Chain A
C-alpha cells in the first residue's frame, strides 16, 4: 500500500496500470462479498487486463467497468459507467459493473452530492473510455502493422477495413494494457453517441427485486458484534451518568460503555457535523438482544455549556458558536420574527430599492416559513467497522468519503492510507449521508472492543440524531409601477442556524429588476443541520415562486407570461453583472412546460399552479393539476420541463424526476420536525408524516430539453419548484395563499372552493 502515497497527477487514473499493477487490485477487493454475481449472466474471462483505473477487459471481450461514485438511488452506478462504455465503444450487454472502493489515488472525486456526480464525471470518465479505446487501437496497429488512424472500432471489435483484419477487444487487451497511455484521445461528438441517451436498466435491478444483500445493514462477517448507541434525547444535553447493571446481565450482551467520538478542539471540515460527541454504547450478539437491553439503560443527562468549534468549510475557516440551552420550535418562531425586523447582511444590491418602493404604484410584502426537516432515509444510519492496531476496514453508507476519512484518521490515530473505506449502496442519502459520523462512531467502537462490529441505529435514534434541514423564514417585497412592471424586489431571509440564500443571491429575478436587494441573517443553535435535497433552494424555490405567482396576480398577468417577460428583460438588458443563469434556457423550460401542459387552454376541471426554478445548473419548470377531496389535494398530474444538458440515461432520469416531484409534494404537505425543551418531538413514521402511495401524483410527465450542453444536476433541481407549484395550485383550489409549511396543517382549517 505504500506506493499509493506517491503524488499523482490529476489524471493519474489513466496511468494506474503502470503505477499500480495487479498488486493494487488485491487490496482493492479487501472486503469481498455483497457483490452481484455477473458470472450468472456473462461468462467470466480467465484473465483480466486493466487498461486504467476504470476499465478491465477480459481475453473473451467481457468488460468490467468500475463505478466510482457512491450510489444512493440516483443511478450513478449505472449512468457513470455508461460514459466509459460510450467512449470505449463497447456493447452494453458485455459489461459488468463493479462498485469501486474509496480510492482517491485511482478515482477522481468519489463524491455523490450537490447533483454534481454526472457533471464532474462527464469529461474524466469519457476520457478514460476514449484513452482505453485508443490503447486498443494502438495495440492492433502494432500487431497488424497498419497506421492507427486507419483502424476503426464498433461494439468492442477493432477493424482495419482495407485489409479485412479484425479483432475483438479481448484479443488486444493484453497487449494494450502494456502500452504507453496516449494523450488527448479524441472524444465523440454528441451526435455520435450510441450508449449515452439510450436508456439502460439499473445494473442492480435484479439484485434489488430478489432481496440480495446490497446495503451495509445487510452485511455480516464471522465474529461480528452488533452495537447500538444511546444519544442524548435532546440537543443541549450530554451524558452525566449511566446505570447499566440491568443491561449487562441480559442475554447476548457483551459490553456497555461511554465513548467520546470527537475531541472538542478538533478542527472540523465542512462535512464533519456530529450532533453528540459523547455516546453510550451497548454491544452484543444480535440486533434484537441489543435493542432490548438498550431499553433497560438508566442514563442521567446534563446540560452542555456553550461551546465553540472551528470548522474549515466552503467559506474558509470559521469559528462556530454552539449555544447552551434547550430550544423549542415555539421560541424559534418568535426569535425569527424578531430577527426579520432587524438589519441584515446585504448580499446584493442593484439600483435604489428604497427609492423605488417609495415611488411604486403597488407594493406587496409576504413572509414565508418552513420547519426543520428530517431526512428519514429508509435505511437508518449504520456502519460496519473492523479496526485493528494496523488497519481500519470501514463499510458504511457515505456520500462523501473524502471528508470523513480525515476525521477517521485523526480520531483513530492512524494514517489515511491504513484506512480502507468500502462504498456501500445506500438506502437513501438525500444529503444526510454526506455527514459520516456514523462511520467514526463504528470505528471508535470497534477499536475499543477490538472486534469487528456493525453499528445499527434504530429508526428512533436516526430521526432524533439531528443533521436536519434548517428552519427558514423569508420576507419578499415587490413593487410595481403604474404599468404593472416589476420595478423593485427585496428578499430578506434567514434561518436557524443558517440562512437560505447562501450563494444564490445572483439568481433570478436578480438581473431582471432595476432595483434589487437580497439580505440574509441567521441565528445560532445547538440543533445540527446539513444538506437536504437541494439545500436552501428547497425553501427558496417554494417561497420565491409562490411570491412570484402573487406578484403576477397583482400585476394582472398570467404567471407564465409574467415570468417570461422578466426573463426577456434579463436577456436583453440585464441588471448587474453576476447573474448566474442563462435567461434563454430559463425561458426555454417555461415555454416547454407551457406547451406540454396546454397551459393556454382553460381547464376548469382542475386547479393549476406553475413554478420554475434554477439550481445545480439545471433549469426546471413545473405545472401541477389538482382537485380537492375532503380538504385534501389529489394531484392528478404533474408536468415538468427540464434543461440539464445531455440526458445520459433518460428513463432513469425521468424516474429521478418523478421521485423528486413526489418527495417535494410530501415534504411541502407534511414534512416537519418540531422541538420542545431541545427534544425532537417525532421519532418514527407514526408521528413524522411521509408521503404515501395514495398521496402521490396520479401521473407525472417529465420532458427534457434536447441540447448538447454538458450534463448538469438532476437529483435535486426538480425538487424545489414543486413546493411553489403546489402552493400556487392550492391557492386556486382554496382561494387562500399558503405561507407556512407544512401546508397540510393549514388545509385542515381551510374551506375548499371546489
Chain B
C-alpha cells in the first residue's frame, strides 16, 4: 500500500492503495466516482474512459502509481451542471438505452472534439471504435457528436 495524492476533477484527493491498482478501481471503490464503468478490464470496451490531461484513456489500464499530479477528469467532472455540449446533445438526441456505456462514450467523444472540433464521419468512427455499446446506439451517438460539434 502507498499514499497517492491525485488531482481529480480539479480537486486534490488522497488514497492509500496498492500502487498497481488501476485508476478505474481507485475511482470506483475508493473515491466513489462510479460514473466510470467497468466493462472488460482489458481496454477493449471503453466504458472506463477518463481524461488524463487532455487525452482519453482507458482507466482500467492506468495504474495509480503512474498518474502523479497530472489532471484526471471523469464524467462527474466533465461539466459542473451536466451542460457540456456533448451532454446536452446526448439529451437532445435521447441517445441512451440502458445507459451503462454512455459515460465512456461521452468522455471519449469529448477528447475527440478537443483535438478535432469539427470531425468528419470517418474521424468519429475511427475515434469512437473502441467504445462498445451493446444496445447499439451508435447511430445516435454519432448524431449527438455532430450536434455538439455544430456540424
Interface digits, B87-130 against A, CB 8 Å rule (1 contact, 0 not)?
A: 10011001111111111001000000000000001001110111
- The A368-392 residues at the B interface (CB cut-off 8 A) are 376-380
Stretch at the interface among A130-138, A165-173, A202-210: A202-210
> Is B69 among interface residues, defined by CB-CB distance under 8 A?
no
CB of B91 within 8 A of CB of A211, answer no
| Closest B residue to A426 using CB positions | B98
* B21 touching A288, Cβ below 8 Å: yes
Which of B78, B90, B106, B134 touches A378 (beta carbons < 8 Å)? B134
Given A205-B91, A214-B99, A428 and B134 touching (CB < 8 A)?
yes
Given known pairs A211-B36, A211-B75, A692-B129, the reply for A662 and B136 (CB within 8 Å) is yes
A651 at the interface (CB under 8 A from B): yes
Which of A220, A651, A655 has the largest number of chain B CB atoms within 10 A? A655
Counting CB contacts under 8 A, is B132 at the interface?
Answer: yes
Is the beta-carbon distance between B91 and A206 smaller than 8 angstroms? yes
B1 CB contact (under 8 Å) in A199, A251, A660? A251
Q: A205-B96, A655-B137, A663-B134 are in contact. Are A210 and B75 (CB under 8 A)?
A: yes
Q: Given contacts A288-B25, A427-B98, is CB(A209)–CB(B40) below 8 Å?
A: no
Q: Does A570 contact B (CB under 8 A)?
A: no
Q: How distant is the Cα of A73 from the Cα of B134 in the complex, in angstroms?
A: 10
Report whether A430 and B134 are in contact in the complex, using a CB–CB cutoff of 8 Å: yes
Pick the residue among B25, B91, B139 that contacts A286 (CB under 8 A): B25
Q: Which of A74, A204, A206, A661 has the most CB of B within 10 A?
A: A206
Q: Does A124 contact B (CB under 8 A)?
A: no
Q: Verify B42–A205 contact, CB threshold 8 A.
A: no
Chain B residues in 8 Å Cβ range of A694: 125-126, 129
Say whether B151 faces chain A, with CB atoms less than 8 Å apart. no
Which residues on B sit within 8 Å (CB–CB) of A213?
A: 34-35
Closest to B35 in A: A211
The CA of A71 and the CA of B87, in the complex, are separated in Å by: 22
Q: Do residues A684 and B44 form an inter-chain contact, with CB atoms below 8 A?
A: yes
Alpha-carbon distance between A18 and B95 when the two chains are bound, in angstroms: 41
Q: Report the bound CA distance from A659 to B95 in whole Å.
A: 10
**Contact yes or no, B103 A209, CB < 8 A:** yes
Query: Are B38 and A217 closer than 8 Å at their CB atoms?
Result: yes
Cα distance A206–B96 when bound, in Å?
Answer: 10
- Indicate if the CB atoms of A208 and B139 lie closer than 8 Å: no
For A345, list chain B residues within 8 Å (CB). none
A685 interfacial contact with B, CB 8 Å: yes
Instruction: A218 to B33: give the CA distance in the assembly, Å.
Output: 9
A220 to B30, CA, bound (A): 11
Given A378-B100, A651-B94, A684-B40, CB of A209 within 8 Å of CB of B18:
no
B99 near A699: Cβ-Cβ < 8 Å: no
Q: Which of A425, A458, A652, A690 contacts B134 (CB 8 A)?
A: A690
Decide if B75 touches A288 in the complex (CB within 8 Å). no
Indicate if the CB atoms of A289 and B18 lie closer than 8 Å: yes
Distance to closest chain B CB from A425 (angstroms): 7
Q: Is the CB of B128 within 8 A of A210?
A: no
On chain B, the number of residues with a Cβ less than 8 Å from chain A's Cβ atoms is 62
Query: How many whole Å from B94's CB to the nearest CB in chain A?
Result: 5
Residues of B contacting A212 with CB < 8 Å? 35
Task: Pick from A209, A217, A377: contact of B106, CB below 8 A.
Answer: A209
Contact with B along A620-662 (1 / 0, CB 8 A): 0000000000000000000000000000000110011011111
Q: Does the CB pair A427–B97 fall under 8 Å? A: no
Residue B98 contacts which of A206, A217, A378, A684 (CB distance < 8 angstroms)? Answer: A378
A459–B40 touching, CB < 8 Å:
yes
* B residues less than 8 Å from A205 (CB atoms): 90-91, 94, 96
Contact indicator A210/B76 (Cβ below 8 Å)? yes
Q: How far is the CB of B123 from chain A (nearest CB, A)?
A: 11
- Cβ of B57 under 8 Å from chain A: no
Is the beta-carbon distance between B44 and A686 smaller than 8 angstroms?
yes
CA distance A393 to B92 in the complex (A): 37
Most A CB within 10 A of own CB, among B40, B44, B125: B40
Q: Which of B32, B35, B86 has the most chain A CB atoms closer than 10 A to its own CB? A: B35
Given contacts A378-B47, A655-B137, A686-B44, contact A459 B18 (CB under 8 A): no
Name the A residues within 8 Å of B25 (CB-CB).
Answer: 286-288
Contacts of A291 in B (CB 8 A): 41
Q: Are B91 and A428 in touch, CB under 8 angstroms?
A: no
**Contact of A288 (CB < 8 Å), options: B29, B124, B136, B140:** B29
Residue of A nearest to B107 (CB): A211
Contacts A211-B34, A378-B132, A651-B94 given; indicate if A693 touches B99 (C-beta within 8 A): no
Give residues of chain A (202-235) contacting chain B, Cβ–Cβ below 8 Å: 202, 204-206, 208-215, 217-218, 220, 226
Determine the distance from Cα of A376 to Cα of B133 in the docked complex, in whole angstroms.
10
Contacts of B94 in A (CB 8 A): 199, 201-202, 205, 651-652, 655
Q: A378-B101, A379-B100, A692-B130 are in contact. List 16 more A-B contacts (CB 8 A).
A: A201-B94, A202-B96, A208-B103, A209-B91, A213-B35, A217-B34, A378-B47, A427-B37, A658-B139, A658-B140, A661-B136, A663-B134, A663-B135, A692-B129, A692-B132, A698-B121
Which residues of B come within 8 Å of A, CB atoms?
1, 17-18, 21-22, 25, 28-30, 32-42, 44-45, 47, 74-76, 78, 82, 86-87, 90-91, 94-103, 106, 121, 124-126, 128-142
What are the 9 tightest A-B residue pairs by CB atom distance, in nearest-first order? A211-B35, A427-B100, A73-B98, A211-B75, A73-B97, A662-B136, A696-B138, A208-B99, A685-B44
Which A residues form the contact surface with B (CB < 8 A)? 71-75, 199, 201-202, 204-206, 208-215, 217-218, 220, 226, 251, 286-289, 291-292, 376-380, 425-430, 458-459, 651-652, 655-656, 658-663, 666, 684-686, 690-694, 696-700
